[in-house]
Amino acid sequence: MTLRPYHQIILCPTRVELRAAEGTPLRDLLFEQGVEFPCGGQGRCRGCRVRVLAGKAEVNRAQQERLSAAEIAQGWRLACQCTVESDLEIELRQWDAAILVDDTPFAFRPRPGLGVAVDLGTTTLVAQLLDLTTGKVLAVSTALNAQARYGADVMSRLHFAVLGGGQQQLESLIRRQIGALVEQLLFAAGKQGAEIADVVVVGNTVMHHFFCGIAAEPLTHYPFEPAEDGMKTFTAGELGWKLAGEPKVRFLPCLGGFVGSDVLAGILAAKLTEHDDLVGLVDLGTNGEIVIGNREGLLCASTAAGPAFEGAKISMGMRASTGAISQVSVDHGALRCRIIGDGSPCGLCGSGLVDAVGAFRARREQLDALAARRPYPERHSRAAVGQGGDCGGNKAADREEGRGGTHPPLPGGRVWQLYRSQQCPEHRLDRFSAGEGRGGWQHGAAGCKARPVQPGC
């Protein structure tokens, strides 16, 4: 038996060092580091791009189709298509992720000590260290949810937990990761070893169950009711966290099957229950929720939003990280894009996609309006409508009907029927028999393929 040589792999920018046997799929290694593979590693989405800074990684056919020659020359590869062939130093595109955080003021009751607030998202973790006396945010720490290697959305993670028997694995993974984030916060704020008074965690119902160790099976089928949706309290020690002060860690209660305490936090922060008018809150994360209501009551619905807008089903879809087109607009007839990080565009995130649809529609309406203002001969020159051609304004209809369509009303209010004929009606082809038309054919300067018909014909 021949032993395969081992190679060293360095991940940048964190300089994490790994060792792997030659031939190991890079995907397996990066999964362990929380890297996402949005299309499931099928080489379709470009979401797993890495840049080889040193060492070699072959370019297969899928990569040639998905990466430009310039990208390949610069060392970009699709990690899901590569195996370990030599020592490697690679830069992870996903670790450029810009995770949005802010320190908007909020109402709170001052008390002594330090507190930690954690938003446990399906994709992203954000933790803040707060001075509970002033409410000031002392440090922020973010990371991709390490569970993402077992599925980009909650349904695939539930599948892994319940059918794959992996719930215990997901639980220890996320508990360990949040514990490490809290330590990072203390380090970043220069408060290593300081006592923490309180830790509060929010997240969707699936994350709640995974973190708290509650059986997630009821969430996989109708009526999708959580086994337990109340607040769960632990000590730091119970979670395996070594924190001074042995703080209580509370995971706030869920609101429903797929409406978690992250929505509850949003409702409180946006003060939805203090309004007389109807107000709405939209949280378009990997799991998306919409809440509408006022002080008399609230209604909420949720769905898998991220994978729909940013994941595997959109060929250029990507998460809202560096290089994602996040806004598209039409400015004086030209399309304008905003790219997160102001670099080169790599794909479209959800907001960019929704914007792009709106912008293309607006652009089309502008073009239609322009076309309607141009004089008839210009719109239906011989080149456009004449022999062998079709009307530029009606190409779709022509294709659909295989012969022509009705053009928008022209000056004089007449409706014109256009045909994809090779000859003018005076020399009409067989299929346009003499009795076919109503209103007769017109042969004029504008071309010889249009005939006026009565509106409604």
Q: Give min distance, CB of 202 to ligand FES, in A.
A: 29
Sign of the four-CA dihedral 167, 170, 176, 178: negative
- Residue 96: count other Cβ atoms within 10 Å of its Cβ: 15
In the complex with ligand FES, which residue's Cβ is closer, 47 or 179?
A: 47
| CA–CA distances in Å: residue 358 to residues 32, 209, 328, 363, 408 | 39, 38, 8, 9, 23
Q: Give min distance, CB of 40 to ligand FES, in A.
A: 7
Q: Are 149 and 143 in contact (CB under 8 A)?
A: no
Quick one: 277 exposed, middle or buried, by C-beta within 10 A (0-12, 13-18, 19+)? Answer: exposed
Instruction: Report H helices in 246-404.
Output: 261-269, 306-310, 350-373, 376-379, 382-385, 395-401
Select from 266, 302, 264 the least CA-distant residue to 286.
302
In the complex with ligand FES, which residue's Cβ is closer, 31 or 416?
A: 31
Q: Give min distance, CB of 163 to ligand FES, in A.
A: 22
Q: Give min distance, CB of 65 to ligand FES, in A.
A: 10
Q: Give min distance, CB of 72 to ligand FES, in A.
A: 14
Residues forming a β-bridge with 235:
248
In the complex with ligand FES, which residue's Cβ is closer, 37 or 150?
A: 37
Q: Give min distance, CB of 446 to ligand FES, in A.
A: 51
Residue 291 to residue 267: CA distance in whole angstroms: 8
Q: Give min distance, CB of 39 to ligand FES, in A.
A: 3
In the complex with ligand FES, which residue's Cβ is closer, 45 or 214?
A: 45
Q: Give min distance, CB of 344 to ligand FES, in A.
A: 18
Give 146-150's long-range contacts (Cβ < 8 A, gap of 24+): 146/34, 146/173, 146/174, 146/176, 146/177, 147/173, 147/174, 147/210, 148/34, 148/35, 148/36, 148/122, 148/123, 149/31, 149/32, 149/34, 149/35, 149/36, 149/37
In the complex with ligand FES, which residue's Cβ is closer, 47 or 226?
A: 47
Q: Which residues contact 350 (CB under 8 A, 6 or more apart)?
A: 284, 305, 306, 309, 310, 317, 320
In the complex with ligand FES, which residue's Cβ is closer, 123 or 394?
A: 123
Q: Report the residue number whose CB is nearest to ligand FES.
A: 80
Interface positions with ligand FES (CB under 6 A): 37-39, 41, 43-48, 78, 80
Residue 411 to residue 368: CA distance in whole angstroms: 16
In the complex with ligand FES, which residue's Cβ is closer, 62 or 339?
A: 62
In the complex with ligand FES, which residue's Cβ is closer, 47 or 452?
A: 47
